[in-house]
Amino acid sequence: MNAFTLLPFIVLIAAMFLMTRSAKKKQQQAASMRNEMQPGSGVRTIGGMYATVKEVNEDTVLLDAGPGVDLLFAKNAIGAVLSDDEYNRIVHGIEHDLKSDVVPDDASSLTESDATDEPAAAAAASDDKAVDLGKKDAEEDKADAAEAAEAKADEEPKKTDGDSDAK
């Protein structure tokens, strides 16, 4: 046999080996994740339900889905074990306070000065007005268009019954 005829079979076998190997790694990671579940952990089932682990058994997990709602699931039905921050963000809508980590856009909030110490600064702050950037609202545009149409109609001569444009 020629080496070129065996080459496609060797490539096919190698590809199958690599695909099964990656699938086994994913299964092992999922199994270790499920084995690390503890009561109090937030989880997402493969059906998309979020709940808190109440009790972990050998093949099953008892989940607390709400007040007075306990559900028994197979361990294989757990899709992901979530961190506390992620679970609280998704289920309760509690965001981690990142505002303390953010640098403000302007430097005025970084300086600490009393308005009573600087009367000029207080006067300048009270004189703040909205700046017109030349943009018009949609209602103003409609009003301008209506006025222009009325002005054009007034400029054209009115026709009477005896007048006609036909020649």
Question: Is 2.30.30 the CATH number for 37-96?
Answer: yes
Give the lowest-confidence range in 15-24, 80-89, 100-109. Answer: 100-109
Evaluate if residue 113 carries a pLDDT over 70.
Answer: no
Top mean pLDDT of 6-10, 134-138, 145-149, 155-159 is at 6-10
Please write down the HEC assignment for all residues of 43-74.
EEECCCCEEEEEEECCCEEEEEEECCEEEEEE
Those residues with Cβ within 8 angstroms of residue 84's Cβ, 6 or more apart along the chain or in another chain:
42
> How do the domains of the chain map onto residue ranges?
7-36, 37-96
Tokens of 158: 């009115």
Q: Greater confidence, 101 or 32?
A: 32
- What pTM was estimated for this model as a whole? 0.46
Q: Which pLDDT value is given to residue 111?
A: 65
Tens of pLDDT, residue by residue over 37-58, are 889 889 999 999 999 999 999 8
